[in-house]
Structure 1
Amino acid sequence: TSPYLENFTERIEFDGKEISKKDLVSCSQEVFKAVDKMIAMGHESPTEFELVTAIGFLYFSQKPLDILILEVGLGGLGDSTNLIKKPLVTAFTSISYDHMDVLGETIEEIAYQKAGIIKAGCPVVSNVKDKRAIEVIKNVALEKDCEFYDASEINIDVQDSSLKGNTFIPGQLSSINSLILGRGEIIETEMVGMHQIENATCALTVLEVLNKKGIIKLDLGKVKYGIKTAKLKGRFEILQNSPYIIIDGAHNEAGVHALSKVINSNLSDKKVLLVVGMLADKKVDRLIARYNEINGDILASEPDSPRKLDSKILCQKIKDTGRDCICGGNWLEE
């Protein structure tokens, strides 16, 4: 996954285990040799993400892979993962305002850039909710003669949703003769929030497509176990229960909106203190508007990054919206 939270090795995993430091060094040395040759031939030096992608590809080429799950960088036309010309399936979970300096200012522009990972004749699964974005993705899929599966159309019967996770029954997707979807199967996930139910449903749809194509053979028990035990570091990760200490990496409007829904639904009887830090190159005012959906106090902090937004500036921007805010530096001194 990118970016990593604790260890760089999180970015490359095989069979549930992070790449070893020994393999990381070995693969990196091979890639750096190739980079030196490229530069000597007059080519530009690759970006960090391109280097990591190349290291990952080299590492995976040495492993007995059945299926490789690739997470894009920014996603889209210029993404280095586009080296894969014939993916088994391409999936979109959500599209929101992010990286607008590169991807575009409107949802339609961003969606068109994101749709650049769609390859001719390869099936596409979308869980995108924004109708403008769906239309763009669907049109690109049709232009490239791809089967299109809209997971956002699946009706979901939510049995339970709490800080312990979710229990739900996914409905049928009309374009697939399903083995799981629409069969009344109860699915559990330990990840918190309604958006994680939607993500799990998207994953189920991908599995159904792969099963339909004869690429995998679904085992219901293993699928249920995999979804139930799946975890993502830094995504509403509960570090402590009494009192609750929770970390979340929400960094765009959709992410903060999802975070606000989880907090307001599950912690409305608690006193909430948000410790918020942002990068200066984000759409700060839009993010603040989303954070203002959350009931609680705000402490403006700043991440350990050269791109950080000064906590005093963030604090003032929050106050400009009419909401009280504590500046992290002052609060810590007190």
Structure 2
Amino acid sequence: MTTLSAEREIEHLMSLHPKGFDLSLDRVTRLLERLGNPQDKLPPVIHIAGTNGKGSCAAFSRALLEAAGYRVHVHTSPHLVNWHERYRLGAEGGGRLVDDKVFAETIARVAEANGGETITVFEILTAVGFLLFAEHPADAVILEVGLGGRFDATNVIKRPAVSVIMPVSLDHEAYLGDRVELIAAEKAGIIKRGCPVVVGAQEFEAAQLVLIETAERLRAPLTVYGQDFLAFAENGRMVYQDSDGLMDLSPPRLPGRHQFANAAAAIAAVKAAGFDISERDADKAMTNVSWPGRMQKLTQGRLMELAPRGAEIWLDGGHNPGAGTVIAEALAEQEEKNPRPLFMISGMINTKDQSGYFSAFKGLTRHVYTVPVSMSDSGVPNDELAARAAEAGLSAEPVSSVANALMLLRDTWDEREAPPRILIGGSLYLAGAVLAENGTPPI
């Protein structure tokens, strides 16, 4: 896919408008009015917020709806390799990433409507998504929040078919607050009066209480994980249970026990939004679901060729302590099934709790190679990151790149040992760079 046209449009916007977030709905509302309010002309919207798991919930929701034959538009962020990944347009037989020409033309239209006024690039690109989705027919829209909820540019949807709040934990404290209840209050901003709400599995009771109280205050029909629905493993299967009964399903294709809860939230959300999903549809979705850069097993590509023979490589963009915990649990499950020594290749940015992320892997990983994050201006220098890993009790050393870490591991590997299991992660920027260098971008 040629990306030059859309990339040029976005690079031009980046040169005109401030980077980052400026939490307010005034600018995007003004722009959308000039475009004829496309956000009010969408098919039913599944609006998803949360600190962790919202991307997985979006992926499961898409898989469920497509398995049932629905055409589904999907907006997610950030992208890993190409900006086009943020916009999947619904089609018979499964959605496709937006065509470059259509994408570039839509960006130009939205930028012209903005007329050079102050706005963030994320707000312009959110308006681009609404325009694309309004102008192409579909049966549903899956809309992932960018940051927070209350003041996120996606939160101009007046009557979502369902609002979903996935697990809430500490992240983006500079914008959202330094206590989980404050962050939960920001996420709860997507709840609309009288519109259905699904609350996914919450690690913190304080967060769950805020979400429930907000829904009750707004008289929003409420469905809560562990109270109204749940999922559990039984005889190698996933059982989903709610007031309608049980579904006996294949285990999710996405690895990790936490994906049972994410899949369950998606099933509850799709049902709350009014879509009919059969057990057969749900089973098909569990085996078809795909979410690049999140516990993604690399099976081919240029970087694979640099690793020790027989190595198992996992890629995950999770970057906060909550994500570290679920990734470590998923790798511990892999260790139980197939024991291998675990190594990490990690890069992170300076707005994240690096020691908190690494602490989840204490006692699980043998050694960490820390690398620069070349695709972000906020990358932590690899020597500083090695110090943060050491503070968390891990053996760590800085190296210059992922490729060099893999080659160093290969050149020093004792082949009398089982081939290593390698986790590359700590940043979505790093995950994107790895997929690009490996020659396996999302499609």
> Which category of TM-score, normalised to the shorter sequence, fits these structures?
0.7 to 0.9
Cα separation, 1, equivalents of 2:88 and 2:396: 40
Pick the aligned partner of 2:106 from 27, 31, 35. 27
Change (3 A) 1:264 1:218: closer
Cα separation, 2, equivalents of 1:160 and 1:263: 20
Cα separation, 2, equivalents of 1:218 and 1:148: 19
Say if 2:148 and 2:183, in contact at 8 Å, map to a contact too.
Answer: no
Any gaps of 5 or more consecutive residues in structure 2?
A: 1-75, 301-309, 409-443
1:251-287 CA distance string (max 9 Å, x none): 1111110000011221252111100111011122322
Cα separation, 1, equivalents of 2:279 and 2:394: 49
Residue number in structure 2 paired with 1:250: 318
Pick the aligned partner of 1:4 from 56, 79, 89. 79
Q: Offset of 1:322 from its aligned partner? A: 3.9
Is the counterpart of residue 303 in structure 1 residue 402 in structure 2? no
Moved more, 288-297 or 303-312: 288-297
**Secondary structure in 2 matching 1:80:** coil
**Secondary structure in 1 matching 2:79:** coil
Cα separation, 1, equivalents of 2:250 and 2:267: 10
Residue number in structure 2 paired with 1:58: 131
Residue number in structure 1 paired with 2:422: none
Say if 2:150 and 2:190, in contact at 8 Å, map to a contact too.
Answer: yes
Residue number in structure 2 paired with 1:127: 200
Residue number in structure 2 paired with 1:42: none
Is the counterpart of residue 197 in structure 1 residue 250 in structure 2? no
Residue number in structure 1 paired with 2:23: none
Change (3 A) 1:160 1:143: same
Pick the aligned partner of 2:288 from 222, 226, 229. 229
Say if 1:264 and 1:295, in contact at 8 Å, map to a contact too.
Answer: no
Any gaps of 5 or more consecutive residues in structure 1?
A: 40-44, 162-166
Residue number in structure 1 paired with 2:238: 168
**Secondary structure in 2 matching 1:3:** coil
Q: Within 5 Å, which residues of 2 pair with 1:12-161?
A: 12-15=87-90, 16-36=95-115, 39=117, 45-129=118-202, 130-153=204-227, 154-159=229-234
Q: Offset of 1:155 from its aligned partner? A: 4.4
Q: Offset of 1:207 from its aligned partner? A: 2.3
Change (3 A) 1:299 1:160: farther
Q: Offset of 1:77 from its aligned partner? A: 1.2
**Secondary structure in 2 matching 1:288:** helix
Cα separation, 1, equivalents of 2:400 and 2:104: 39
Normalised by the length of structure 1, the TM-score is 0.88
Is the counterpart of residue 240 in structure 1 residue 294 in structure 2? no
Residue number in structure 2 paired with 1:281: 351
Pick the aligned partner of 2:385 from 295, 314, 324. 314
**Secondary structure in 1 matching 2:317:** coil
Say if 2:344 and 2:365, in contact at 8 Å, map to a contact too.
Answer: no
Change (3 A) 1:313 1:24: same
Moved more, 6-15 or 260-269: 260-269
Change (3 A) 1:157 1:185: same
Q: Which has the higher contact order (CA 8 A, sep 6+)?
A: 2
Cα separation, 2, equivalents of 1:128 and 1:320: 30
Say if 2:193 and 2:220, in contact at 8 Å, map to a contact too.
Answer: yes
1:19-65 CA distance string (max 9 Å, x none): 0001101100110001225x2xxxxx221221111000011111112
Q: Offset of 1:133 from its aligned partner? A: 0.6
Say if 1:126 and 1:152, in contact at 8 Å, map to a contact too.
Answer: no
**Secondary structure in 1 matching 2:360:** helix
Cα separation, 2, equivalents of 1:149 and 1:155: 10
1:299-319 CA distance string (max 9 Å, x none): 111211101000001112222
Change (3 A) 1:248 1:325: same
Moved more, 136-145 or 316-325: 316-325
Cα separation, 2, equivalents of 1:160 and 1:245: 27
Change (3 A) 1:12 1:293: farther
Change (3 A) 1:240 1:216: closer
1:114-138 CA distance string (max 9 Å, x none): 1011111101000132211110001
Cα separation, 2, equivalents of 1:103 and 1:195: 24
Residue number in structure 2 paired with 1:164: none
Say if 2:323 and 2:357, in contact at 8 Å, map to a contact too.
Answer: no
Pick the aligned partner of 1:218 from 277, 292, 306. 277
Aligned length: 312
Q: Offset of 1:160 from its aligned partner? A: 5.9
**Secondary structure in 2 matching 1:70:** strand
Cα separation, 2, equivalents of 1:264 and 1:63: 43
Cα RMSD of the aligned pairs, angstroms, is 2.0
**Secondary structure in 2 matching 1:138:** helix
